[in-house]
Structure 1
């Protein structure tokens, strides 16, 4: 039979609460009594009170949850996610708090259960798609949260650390349009869940499943609409995931055609690097006849090495500030809504559009 707290109490001849204090409130006992209790517990094989139950009695767990996309590996392989989590970790360490990474299952009921069952004191909601369901579930638990989006489908976020996705994307698209590009493609990952890789029929940006993708596609669209390229004239490319391989696979059919775009604007650097991989693998003669400019978004470390024109956003600072707002919330609500600056970084991956 598994040893219990009561068994330890009986062995020492004290109450259950005295045994509990030996673990959670040692200052309430004499050193000699606490030593007797812990020695008896070791002899019986009692491991101590259940940490979750103990945290619930205290009213806090000592951990925050980071809610993000469905694959746990994304937190360790995506360069921007790694930077964001590094920032969250810095703040958590300063507050002596642990992190719980919570991937979001694709099944909505399972996703809601993941939020409802997580033993945390609050949530950082990062890259979780249309997150209104998550905010409702968190709100139902009465826990605080911070998001990386200015608003969700249910309205303005309570606290956030975000960028203006649409304006940032427009800055890079304006640069490309200003160089004369009119035959362009927009590339995003999982724009419509379940859609195949490659060209995607999209009536408008509102059909994109992720709010971040919608914001960036909107910025691209706005810039080209201003120079007379309306949405139906734009090619939309869907990548099966946010990886170099997925970016290369999505753009490859377009490059094989007789009239590829003169520019590809990607919603992330990782996808843009995949496009550069696909371009490098082309036949040299084709590459000379049809040069293609490429842009990304985020400015990860590999972007500079590849000469990628992109939008820089402060990933680590974003994570640090989000965790700080959660762990040490400001008294004024407005101070809990942070909009970070972005910067257009122009490198060699974009050139003047070739003459038709």
Structure 2
């Protein structure tokens, strides 16, 4: 006796499931021709395809089994995205939203689905990567020693890395030159006469004091191997600009926070202001952190830019209304280019950035 929902090969009604062969017989065509109605509709006339689909609807045939098709063609028609944050962050952070929009548009244009796999620091789900039915992976800004990256590289599918890590053998890269970009905004700040500078940066997946602390730039850069190349490259860009200006790097402090959130930017700015009397500029490695820094300065009645200059990075939509001086990077284009590189084997792409000067930056004592 068969119970409802059992694996009997029959639907709950007791009728055998219709097959593609049944549809073909009903229309009086070959099975191959019936298959073309689903897989190669351009091979059929509109009228014939309508007859086939009508017969399928009458028989209750819903179409080829996608799992069986995938096994037969060895294609999943899906792109895997390894996202180095919780999934909720992907739909909340403005820069991440722009990036995902570019990825999504490119997938839609190519008739591909998108599977997002979160690679949250400290929560290893490498098995999810190994089981993913995808034709290739886009890896978004991940630590070089992350086990999810190792799982991706162990598979035979093509891989494109966005932002970090860079220079992986046999893996295409899509991103920007973070060192040059951050160096450009640092040169702008130094050119305004600022010498007592603080930086708020993200230090994901690492222990950070709740209230925050600050330490010299050179001490941070000398702390050993940094698993997060984007942060490291931006700090190196700042050092390049400081040295080019003939400024003593000892006056530059870095406060690191565990996440890219507005409240973290406020905590980082507070740590810098408490540790560095006379600070005249706060540079942030994202616009979101910069918004938090502006909040903290406002809470202390510190005028911007008259007493402290603030800069960000990304140029998210809200940066303009906030008057934030920042670095514009093409996040949407970055996502689109990553899928193009993956599906077309288009090779590595380094996208241009630009400095956007607004009212949050000004000369010392302005």
What is the TM-score of this pair, normalised by structure 2?
0.80
Which position in structure 2 is the counterpart of 1:196?
209
> What is the CA-CA distance between 1:216 and the residue it aligns to?
0.9
Which position in structure 1 is the counterpart of 2:140?
126
> Which one is further off, 76-85 or 238-247?
238-247
Which position in structure 1 is the counterpart of 2:291?
273
Task: Rate the CA distance shift 1:271–1:125 in 2: closer, same or farther, 3 A.
Answer: same
Which position in structure 2 is the counterpart of 1:146?
160
Task: Rate the CA distance shift 1:311–1:258 in 2: closer, same or farther, 3 A.
Answer: closer
> What is the CA-CA distance between 1:266 and the residue it aligns to?
0.6
Which position in structure 2 is the counterpart of 1:341?
352
Distance 1:353 1:75 in 2: 37
Matches within 5 A, 1:177-192: 177-190=190-203
**Corresponding pairs, count:** 339
Which position in structure 2 is the counterpart of 1:71?
86
> What is the CA-CA distance between 1:305 and the residue it aligns to?
1.1
Match of 2:333 among 289, 311, 317: 317
Alignment of 1:176 with 2:189, yes or no, is: yes
Alignment of 1:166 with 2:179, yes or no, is: yes
As a proportion of its length, which structure holds more helix? 1
> What is the CA-CA distance between 1:106 and the residue it aligns to?
2.5
User: 1:125-166 CA distances to partner (integer Å, 9 max, x unpaired)?
Assistant: 1122326644442232211111113754x7346212111110
> What is the CA-CA distance between 1:86 and the residue it aligns to?
0.8
Distance 2:208 2:314 in 1: 24
Distance 2:72 2:118 in 1: 27
Alignment of 1:27 with 2:40, yes or no, is: no
Contact 1:5 1:48 in 2 (8 A): no
Task: Rate the CA distance shift 1:229–1:143 in 2: closer, same or farther, 3 A.
Answer: same
Which position in structure 2 is the counterpart of 1:100?
115
Matches within 5 A, 1:264-303: 264-283=282-301, 287=303, 291-303=307-319
Q: State the Cα RMSD in Å.
A: 3.5
| Unmatched 5+ stretches in structure 1 | 331-335
Distance 2:53 2:321 in 1: 59
Distance 1:127 1:311 in 2: 18
> Which one is further off, 126-135 or 180-189?
126-135
> What is the CA-CA distance between 1:208 and the residue it aligns to?
4.2
Which position in structure 2 is the counterpart of 1:333?
none
Distance 1:215 1:311 in 2: 15
Alignment of 1:328 with 2:344, yes or no, is: yes
Distance 1:354 1:150 in 2: 38
User: 1:322-342 CA distances to partner (integer Å, 9 max, x unpaired)?
Assistant: 111112224xxxxx1111111
Give secondary structure in 2 for the equivalent of 1:237: strand
> Which one is further off, 98-107 or 70-79?
98-107
Distance 1:192 1:41 in 2: 51
User: 1:4-53 CA distances to partner (integer Å, 9 max, x unpaired)?
Assistant: 47447x96599x8957999x9771599999988876768xxxx8876445
Task: Rate the CA distance shift 1:276–1:20 in 2: closer, same or farther, 3 A.
Answer: farther
Give secondary structure in 2 for the equivalent of 1:155: coil
Distance 1:338 1:147 in 2: 10
> Which one is further off, 191-200 or 309-318?
191-200
Match of 1:219 among 230, 237, 246: 237
Distance 1:11 1:33 in 2: 21
What is the TM-score of this pair, normalised by structure 1?
0.82
